[in-house]
Chain A
């Protein structure tokens, strides 16, 4: 399982003539390609490996290589099975994938969710305040909170039921217009007329 943004495939030639293909993801986790009987297999990461043990040694130099080194691939050689010497990285060839953000780092959706709940709680608190101390401040606050709560709520409804890129765009644009008009109307009412709290009080006095 990968949470990749950018994926680099690195062909690394070491001084012990081993050729390693590494897949380096944005977070630095790697997988190893190894050859078995001439066929190449993608070896998944072991769960027991800690990030340190499988992080690509040359994370830094790999990224540098991406920008500074050009590809140079030596002819592959037959590799002796046992090799005592510590290998040094000679060259690296890098292929990079498109930056498809599968597990996006953006917290926008999560923050939106939290904001929705915070607004709901605020709106709950505004009820008693509007009842016990009505006035222009609570009128305008109520106008803003009600409009935004409704805007986000209808937004969720649209997300659930409207499908297709263009339809979604049109629906969201229409909602935005409606919410703007709603807020404008409520503010106009607060300014030029009796205001929300007074309006409810008058309505109920009938």
Chain B
């Protein structure tokens, strides 16, 4: 085992043991050397490429794993996010493509004479994804600063988010 001391840029002090090479067989140095690292992305791509190539089926996961409130809240957060994003994109495309302006289409919906209950339901249907995604988003930011990871805390904040979302959505739908 060798220890090294820094004396000057060009000098080294070695321990008493020297290195003896009987033959310059450097090839097996590479065998003994530690392998070069790969990036995580490379590793993941290799995993998927290999399994796709071998035509392996996916192991059951969501079909067998017991669902829990945190799991459902997480996928709901993703679902509401994707849904809201899709709705915004659809609105934007409609704004570009459809003739006429916004009040025109609003009057069109007005003229359909939908009952107040259905209108309330529709408002709830718009308000709930927005409020759930917002409150759970705050919960995510709370995690991002490193707080609230203990399981009881996860459940407590989770139920708070669900409760607040429902209350807020009902309140907004009644405006």
Please, which residues of chain A bring their CB within 8 A of the CB of B45? 163-165
Task: Provide the bound-state CA to CA distance between A25 and B124, in Å.
Answer: 60
CB within 8 Å for A79 and B9 given contacts A124-B134, A194-B102: no
* A204 contacts chain B at the CB level, 8 A cutoff: yes
- Asked if A83 and B18 make an inter-chain contact with CB atoms under 8 angstroms apart, the answer reads yes
Q: Which residues of B contact A141 (CB under 8 A)?
A: none
A187 shortest CB reach to chain B, Å: 9
Q: By the criterion of a CB under 8 Å from any partner CB, how many residues of chain B are at the interface?
A: 67
In the docked arrangement, what's the CA distance between A61 and B8, Å? 12
The answer to whether the Cβ of B1 comes within 8 Å of any Cβ in the partner chain is yes
Chain A residues whose CB sits within 8 angstroms of the CB of B18 once the complex forms: 16-18, 79-81, 83
- Residues on B with C-beta less than 8 A from A184 are 92, 96
Q: Tell me which residues across on chain A come within 8 A of B175, comparing CB atoms.
A: 204
Q: Contact check: which of A53, A61, A203 meets B5 at CB < 8 Å? A: A53
A57 touches B95 (CB 8 A): no
Task: Judge whether A21 is part of the interface by a CB distance below 8 angstroms.
Answer: yes
Chain A 50-66, CB within 8 Å of chain B: the 1/0 string? 00111111101100000
Q: CB-nearest residue of chain B relative to A116?
A: B144
- A40 near B29 with CB under 8 A, answer yes
Question: Which chain A residues (58-86) contact chain B, with CB distance < 8 Å?
Answer: 58, 60-61, 73, 76, 78-83, 86
B36 touches A4 (CB 8 A): yes
Q: Which residues of A contact B81 (CB under 8 A)?
A: 150, 153, 157
- Within the complex, which residue of A49, A86, A185 is in contact with B92, where a contact is CB–CB below 8 Å? A185
Contact flag A81-B17 (CB < 8 Å), given A9-B29, A57-B6: yes
Nearest CB of chain B from residue A89's CB, rounded to whole Å? 6
Contacting residue for B29 out of A21, A104, A206, CB 8 A = A21
B37 interface contact, C-beta 8 A: yes
Please name all residues of chain A whose beta carbon is closer than 8 Å to the beta carbon of B102 when the two chains form the complex: 189, 193-194, 199, 202
Q: Are B22 and A88 in contact (CB under 8 A)?
A: no
A173 within 8 A of B: no
Does A19 interact with chain B (Cβ within 8 Å)?
Answer: yes
List residues 7-21 of chain B with CB under 8 A from any CB of chain A. Answer: 7-14, 16-21
| Residues of chain A lying within 8 A (CB to CB) of residue B89 | 150, 178-179, 181-182, 185
CA distance A56 to B21 in the complex (A): 21
- A35 B20 Cβ-Cβ under 8 A: yes
CA distance A102 to B8 in the complex (A): 31
Q: Known contacts A40-B28, A79-B18, A185-B96; is A102 also within 8 Å of B6 by CB?
A: no
In the complex, which of the residues A4, A76, A192 contacts B37, with contact meaning CB atoms closer than 8 Å?
A: A4
Taken residue by residue from 1 to 23, chain A's Cβ proximity to chain B (1 for < 8 Å, 0 otherwise) reads as 01110010101001011111101
Please state if A57 and B11 are interface contacts (CB–CB under 8 Å): yes
A20 touches B92 (CB 8 A): no
Residues of chain B within 8 A (CB-CB) of A86 are 7, 11-13
Selected A-B contacts with CB under 8 Å, 8 pairs: A17-B18, A42-B34, A57-B11, A61-B9, A76-B22, A76-B24, A79-B20, A182-B89
What 12 additional pairs, Cβ within 8 angstroms, besides A42-B32, A55-B4, A192-B101? A33-B19, A43-B1, A53-B6, A55-B6, A57-B10, A79-B20, A82-B16, A102-B39, A181-B89, A185-B95, A193-B102, A204-B123
User: Which residues of B line the A interface, CB within 8 A?
Assistant: 1-14, 16-26, 28-29, 32-34, 36-39, 44-45, 48-49, 52, 78, 81-82, 84-85, 88-89, 91-96, 101-103, 106, 109-110, 119, 123, 134, 137-138, 140-141, 144, 175
